[in-house]
Amino acid sequence: MRTSAFLYPWDIVGDPDAAARVADLGVQQVTLASAYHSTRALTPRHPGHRIVTAEHAAVLYPPDAARWAGRALRPRAQSWVASDDPYAEAAEALAGAGLQVHSWVVLAHNSRLGAEHPDTSVVNAYGDRYPWAPCIAQPAVRAHLVDLAAEAAVRGGTHGTELESCGWYGFAHLHAHDKTAGVALGDAAQYLMSLCFCPDCRTGYAGQGLDADELGRAVRRALEPAWSAAGSPEAGWSGVGKLLGAGPAAATLQWRAAVARGLQESVVAAVRAAAAPEFQVLLHADPAPYRSGANVGVDPEHILSVADGVVLPCTGADAAREAVLGPFAGREGVLAANLTVVRGMGGSPDTLERDAGHAASLGANQLRLYHAGLASGPDLEAVAEALSRLGR
């Protein structure tokens, strides 16, 4: 299977040996960040540094001044990589090592946007804003994300793109010094905590026959037992219906799914309009439509009618892979199984060969490895050995 490793430009820029080292893993492709959220990243092999602190969400190339002139919502340039165009510099080095480069674009996950423009953020049923989660129902946010996707995806020397968080973001997010684990919330409660009550979403709920004030009260009533106990273990869409009621739950999902589908269609169309005909467009996705986050909830049939394929979270037990790959079984398009290969981040490079084989048996036709820049030397050795065996 065609295999791609995730990388940041700072893994490559300033390290003359980095591109060849990645090629020696046995991958054919690199998924290189061009627009990314704030992070603190280890660079265990770089000759010039060990830690890179990306202080805010940024683009890793010079943004087009003409495109963004006069607009309140605009991408911010990075300042932590010593390069005028880190993406281009890294992409050139990787291509020189024989690797095909695809861009990695993070969209609806941007704490800087929420800090500078609080009204763009998701607002939960308690009135709390999530500054890391721009509300994709807002026209100004959608316009920003569509233009950002077109610019960040289609960079020089790039043959395709992978769009992360191209949909709803919500409660579940490792924010700076996160302190939210004291009450364990299953994904049903997390869905309720991720429902947005900004003016645009309130209007959207009304269009589904819901009174936003009553919906907010219903959410708070449903969650109240969680705050006075150890949490809420309810999981799956049936769990959402149990907490909120089947009718209101379905109405909220109808609104949110329509918004997400509209964004995805607009983003992919904008990228295609800016790119060459053979340019590949993939989305990081989850087949459960109610899910939010980096791997956005999608309808498999719809998303494969819009994009060329999906990248699916496949790290963990066999059941986890079966849950995300099963709904895509037998469908045309790229089905890329994303496997974490960093032991310190819960990955298992030693079982890569076995896990990749299991994913392939479920219909996966490509692999993604997260993350070649963050992995230790032994992790990468295990990856290279597994890919060598898979290639025989």
pTM of the complete model beyond 0.95: yes
pLDDT for 182: 77
Percent of the chain with pLDDT over 90: 94
Per-residue pLDDT for 177 more than 70? Answer: no
Beta carbons of 5 and 90 less than 8 angstroms apart: no
Neighbour-count burial of 78, counting CB atoms closer than 10 A to its CB (0-12 exposed, 13-18 middle, 19+ buried): buried
Angle CA 95–309–21, to nearest 5: 25
Stretch among 17-31, 60-74, 169-183, 332-346 having the lowest mean pLDDT? 169-183
CA dihedral 224, 226, 230, 231 (to 10 degrees): -170
Average pLDDT over residues 160-174: 93
- Tell me the domain boundaries of the chain: 2-180+256-390
Fold for domain 2-180+256-390? Answer: TIM Barrel (3.20.20)
The percent helix, strand, coil of the chain (3-state, each to 5) is 45, 20, 40
In tens, the pLDDT along 285-311 reads 999 999 999 999 999 999 999 999 999
Lowest mean pLDDT among 76-80, 178-182, 266-270, 345-349: 178-182
In this predicted structure, what is the pLDDT of residue 311? Answer: 98
How sure is the predictor about 23, in pLDDT bands with cuts at 50, 70 and 90? very high
Confidence of residue 392 (pLDDT cuts 50, 70, 90): low
